[in-house]
Amino acid sequence: MKNNLMCRFYTLTIMSLLLLGIIIVTGCSSTNIVKSTPQDQNEKTIKTILEKQFTGPDIKLIEMLSSEENVTVIGKDGEATQPPKNTELEKYYEKNYQPYFTERM
């Protein structure tokens, strides 16, 4: 009876250790597949836009920003004079930044 109890104890111990080993090996194995989460993609997009905007002078952009064609003028009476639609500045922004934005933004 004591021998049967010891045999059962060893069997349960070995089975438990095997099960634990399988769980550890399965849980710790890597598959080398890294999925990009939406958060990662958003961070990448923001980083790209900031790098485009703030690294190095873009002479064409500087000229367009200082052009009177792209200026909104607010008069003394509070009346605002908007620049015409589809200015060169708007076209520049669309060309350079449109791929990074969606309709819902």
CB-CB neighbours of 65 under 10 Å: 12
pLDDT tens for each residue of 9-35: 888 888 888 888 888 877 766 665 666
pLDDT tens for each residue of 48-61: 888 888 887 788 88
Structure tokens at 16: 């438990």
Per-residue pLDDT, 30: 60
Phi, psi of 81 (to 5 degrees): -105, 110
Return mean pLDDT, the chain. 80
DSSP-H helix ranges across 1-105 = 2-28, 38-54, 59-66, 88-97
Report percent pLDDT > 70 for the chain.
87
Global model pTM greater than 0.75: no
* Cβ atoms of residues 92 and 64 within 8 Å: yes
